[in-house]
Amino acid sequence: MKVELHNLTKKFAGGARGKDTVTAVDNLSLEIPDGKLVGLLGPSGCGKSTTLFMICGLQKPTAGKIFFGEDDVTGLPPEARGVGVVFQNYALYPHLTVRQNILFPLQNLKGKDKLSKSEMLRRAEEAARLVQIDGLMDRRPNELSGGQQQRVAIARAMVKMPRVLLLDEPLSNLDARLRLQTREEIRRIQRRTGITTVFVTHDQEEAMSISDIIVVMKEGVVQQTGKPQDVYDNPVNLFVAKFLGTPPINVFEGRISSGKLVMGEDAVLNVSGAQDCDVIVGIRPEGFIPDENGALRCTLTGVEVMGRDKSVIFTSPCSKAPSIRAVVNAESVVDTSSHEVRFTLRPVKVLLFDKITEKRLECELSQVK
Ligand code: ATP
C-alpha cells in the first residue's frame, strides 16, 4: 500500500493559555512506496511522532492530506484506516497470556469484520509464527524477555493484517544487544510480509541500518529524503551531515582560494566549480589518510587501537572541537612519538558548506598532486 502525505502541517496551542502556537510539523510532503520501510529520523522534538500519529489517525492535521493508495484517509478514525501500531511503551496486558494478548484486537472487531473463533486462533498462531514466538503462547508477559515481549507487541499489531505498519521508537526499551537483534527481526518480518512500514527513531544508526528510505527532520521540516547511503554521502546541509554517521563528521573552518581548499596555512585539496569564499569543511572520520608528506598538519593527542581499525585523535587550529577523531586502517603507520600528524584527505569524504546558510556547496574536489 503506497502512502502519500501532502503538505501536512500540525500546530498545537502551547503555553499556559494556549496562546503560543507550536508548529510540530510544517508542510511535510512525502511519498512512501508500496512495501518499503521508511525511517523517520531526527532529534527529539523534530516532529517525528506527530507525523506518525497523523498517519495512524490519533492526531488530526491542521492542514494537508493523507492518502493510503487512492483513498483519502485524512478524516478517518484510526480503526478505519487499517494500521498496525507499536508504540515505545507497548504495554502488553499483564494478566493475559501471549495468545490472549495477540487475539485481543481481533476480539474487538465488529459487524462484517467479525471473525469466527477458529479463524481468530488461526490468525493469532500465524502472527506468532511470523515473529517466532509460537512456542510461548501460554506464557504471561512477565515470563518473557524484553525482546520476546517486543515481538508479542509486533504480532499484536500484525494480527489484523494492517495495510500499513507504524513503529514509534519500538526498540528504545531494549538493551544494546536486543536492540540489534530485534531491529534485524523487524527488517526480516517487514521484507517477508511486504507491509509498508514507517519506523520512527532518533537513532541514526538504527534508521540507516533497516530503512529503504530515510527522512531526516529538523524542527518540523523535512531536510532530506533518500536512500541511507545516498543521504550519508550527499547531505544537503551541515545539519544532515552532522546527524548521520558514527563517529560524527568533523567540522573545520576553511576557505576556497584560487582553486584550492585551504585549512589554516595548508592547501589540502583542489577545488573546481566554486568561487573564492570562506567555507565550513566537514570531513568524515574515514576521510583522513595518515601520510608523513600529507598537506593537512594537525596536533596528535593519541591513538586508540580497536582491532579492525584505529582511531587517531588530534586537534587542529581550524577546529573548535576539543578532539577530532579519524578512523584509519589498523595497518596505517602513525608515529606516536611525534606531536604532529599529517594527513592526505580522501576527496569523496570531504564536504564543503556555505558558512552562512550551511547548505552544501556543489563543487568538485580532488587531491593536490
Ligand atoms: P521525541 O523523539 O522526543 O519523541 P519527536 O520528534 O517525536 O520527539 P514530537 O513528539 O512530534 O517530536 O513533537 C514535536 C513538537 O511538538 C515538540 O516541540 C513538542 O513539544 C510539540 N508537541 C507535541 N505534542 C504536543 C501537544 N499535544 N501539545 C503541544 N505541543 C506538542
pLDDT for position 15? 65
Measured CA to CA, the distance from residue 297 to residue 266 in angstroms comes to: 7
Q: How far is the CA of 49 from the centre of ligand 1 (A)?
A: 7
For residue 23, which atom of ligand 1 is closest to its CA?
16
CB 146 within 8 A of CB 174: yes
Closest to 1 in 3D by CA, of 195, 159, 157, 271: 195
pLDDT for position 335? 86
End-to-end, the C-alpha distance of the chain in Å comes to 52
In order along its 369 residues, the chain shows pLDDT tens digits of 999 999 999 999 876 666 678 999 999 999 999 999 999 999 999 999 999 999 999 999 999 999 999 999 999 998 889 899 988 777 899 999 999 999 998 988 777 778 889 999 999 998 898 888 899 999 999 999 888 888 899 889 888 888 999 999 888 777 787 788 888 888 888 898 899 999 999 999 999 999 999 999 999 999 999 999 999 999 999 999 999 998 999 999 999 999 999 999 999 999 999 999 999 999 999 999 999 999 999 999 999 988 889 999 999 999 999 999 999 988 888 888 889 999 999 999 999 999 999 999 999 999 987
Measured CA distances, 362 to 236, 242, 275 (Å)? 10, 18, 11
Mutate to test the pocket of ligand 1, among 10, 46, 59, 216 (most ligand atoms within 8 A of CB): 46
Kindly report the CA angle at 40 between 141 and 287, in degrees rounded to 5? 115
Q: Report the b/e string of 108-141 with b at 16+ CB within 10 A.
A: eeeeeeeeeeeebbebbbebbebbebbebbeebb
Mutate to test the pocket of ligand 1, among 49, 51, 168, 202 (most ligand atoms within 8 A of CB): 49
Please tell me the residue having the least CA distance from ligand 1 atom 7: 49
Strand order in the sheet with 20-32: 20-32, 3-14, 63-68, 71-72
pLDDT for position 17? 67
One-letter amino acid at 153 equals A
CB 101 within 8 A of CB 92: yes
Please tell me the residue having the least CA distance from ligand 1 atom 27: 12
CB 204 within 8 A of CB 215: no
Q: How far is the CA of 353 from the centre of ligand 1 (A)?
A: 29
Closest to 25 in 3D by CA, of 200, 203, 162, 227: 200
Residue 78 has which C-alpha cell?
484510526
Residue holding cell 476480539? 107
Q: How far is the CA of 87 from the centre of ligand 1 (A)?
A: 15
Measured CA distances, 281 to 195, 241, 268, 365 (Å)? 41, 11, 11, 12
Residue holding cell 584560487? 258
Q: How far is the CA of 50 from the centre of ligand 1 (A)?
A: 6
The DSSP secondary-structure symbol of 195 reads: -
Tell me which residues have their CB closer than 6 angstroms to ligand 1: 12, 14, 22, 24, 42, 44-50, 202
Q: Report the b/e string of 211-245 with b at 16+ CB within 10 A.
A: bbbbbbbbebebbbbbebeebbeebbbbbbbbbbb
Q: How far is the CA of 235 from the centre of ligand 1 (A)?
A: 25
How many Cα neighbours within 13 Å face the side chain of 271? 26
Q: How far is the CA of 46 from the centre of ligand 1 (A)?
A: 7
Measured CA to CA, the distance from residue 31 to residue 313 in angstroms comes to: 42
Mutate to test the pocket of ligand 1, among 48, 206, 217 (most ligand atoms within 8 A of CB): 48
Measured CA to CA, the distance from residue 367 to residue 307 in angstroms comes to: 29
Q: DSSP assignment of 197-232, as one string?
A: EEEEES-HHHHHHH-SEEEEEETTEEEEEE-HHHHH
pLDDT for position 34? 96
Instruction: Provide the residue count of the chain.
Output: 369
One-letter amino acid at 183 equals R
Cis peptide leading into residue 247 (ω within 30°)? yes
